[in-house]
Amino acid sequence: MMLAKHIKILLMLIIVIGCNSENPTFEYHPIVERIPYSSREDLILDINKNSDTSAETGRLIESLSNSSVLFIEKSESTLELLFDFQSSVFKSLNESRILILDTRKQVIYEYNLTDEKLSVLAEQGRGPSEIRFVNDIVIDGDKLLTVNSIGEYKVYDCSNTPCYYSKTYINEDIRPYSASIDNDRILIMGYSEEDAINRKNNEKVASLHWLDSDRVVDYSFGDLYDIRGEWMLLRPFTSGGVNHLTDNMVVQYFRMFPYIYIYENEEISKIYNVTNFLLSKLQFNNQSRSLRVNLDNWSSIRHLQVLDESRFIIEVANRIKVREGKQLGDIDWKTIHDYYLINYEKDYSYYLGNNDQENSLIKITSNHLIENRGDSLLVYNYKIEKR
């Protein structure tokens, strides 16, 4: 009788185990509790829409001008659109020179507003002056630094027009997404793959890393999304950007999270929360270790542009369904781009407006507003109100 009971229990265990192996469990990421500093309610300040104005591009530029921050001058130049506007990164060297990285084609251009000339600085390839996997470019005085996902950094000298290739250095310790430069040190936003995968319980994994003059990791800080060793969760929840506000203050964001992080002397000091942010939920299959694309509405932080030591502008893209479907290809979407001005010294935010075009129609750099007119770009100079 006892033996029969034991056999019955064993058979039940086998059935349960068999069912579990055939029926995987799912998690939906991001899990809010795992987002960096999401529990620090004492540091979180909300960013709200204080206007519900829907602005077309021209009105949006007018709104930027009327924000008592930017003084926009008349258009300086018209540039033929030879690259993918939405996936390109724009950085101003000065009032007359703009650098453009087309992340899809892996080409870097320089546009000179004085003679309205577009030059190719680097194309895709493995040669010394060529680029691959580059997702960000950084301006350091008269130098251009490229940042790619395999830790290969290339320097171009921009003391003359156009810029030209100077040197390459490699640091494979960190998988970078973005960078900012302070004197001779480089601050990298990225992760150590080994640390992230091998993380132990309650062990923090850094998202920001100082490289010294020898391009070796000197010091790391800032939290990363807690992936619990699941490498599939690294890519979607670790990309974003980093910029310096002052010598000792840094602003950071992750594309898929609603937070803007302010660090002072490598310590988290303030967090801004975009209250209208639609948090994406990706379905993670515990058995196949795969992610499924979310078919709900979702938001992402597309860009952050520092204006001065206390203010910056963020662009938030909201992807909204306008026609339902069972598969991704059956759904019609529209994208609404919201623009916010944030003053972290005075703790206020100002909603600048939005547009409901499929693609973002303006790009903001430290010196220019670039407006997409379809087959060409209109470039505006702007100046910042001094306070």
The phi and psi torsions of 353 (rounded to 5 degrees) equal: 135, -175
Question: Among 21-30, 159-168, 185-194, 335-344, which stretch is predicted with the lowest mean pLDDT?
Answer: 21-30
How many whole angstroms separate alpha carbon 224 and alpha carbon 37?
9
The whole-number average pLDDT for the span 209-214 is 88
SS3 call for 19 = helix
Q: Report the half-sphere exposure of 167 (CA within 13 A, side-chain side).
A: 3
**Pick from 65, 4, 34: which is nearest to 384 by CA?**
65
pLDDT of residue 21: 47
pLDDT of residue 36: 95
How many whole angstroms separate alpha carbon 3 and alpha carbon 39?
52
pLDDT, tens digit, 9 for 90 and up, residues 294-307: 778 999 999 999 98
Residue 360 has pLDDT above 90, yes or no: no
Tokens found for residue 29: 């990421």
pTM of the model: 0.86
The answer to whether 324 and 360 have CB atoms below 8 angstroms apart is no
Q: What is the 3-state composition of the chain as percent helix, strand, coil, each rounded to the nearest 5? A: 15, 50, 35
Average confidence score pLDDT of the chain: 83
DSSP conformation class of 169: E
The whole-number average pLDDT for the span 329-352 is 84
Q: Report the half-sphere exposure of 265 (CA within 13 A, side-chain side).
A: 0
The residue behind tokens 């196949």 is 288
% residues pLDDT > 70 (the chain): 82
Q: Rounding to the nearest 10 degrees, give the CA dihedral for residues 130, 135, 140, 145.
A: -20
Domains of the chain: 32-384 (2.120.10.30)
How many whole angstroms separate alpha carbon 335 and alpha carbon 330?
16
Q: Report the half-sphere exposure of 207 (CA within 13 A, side-chain side).
A: 28
pLDDT of residue 50: 65
**Pick from 146, 78, 81: which is nearest to 113 by CA?**
78
pLDDT, tens digit, 9 for 90 and up, residues 284-296: 988 888 888 777 8
Q: Give, in degrees to the nearest 5, the angle at Cα 285 between 284 and 289.
A: 95
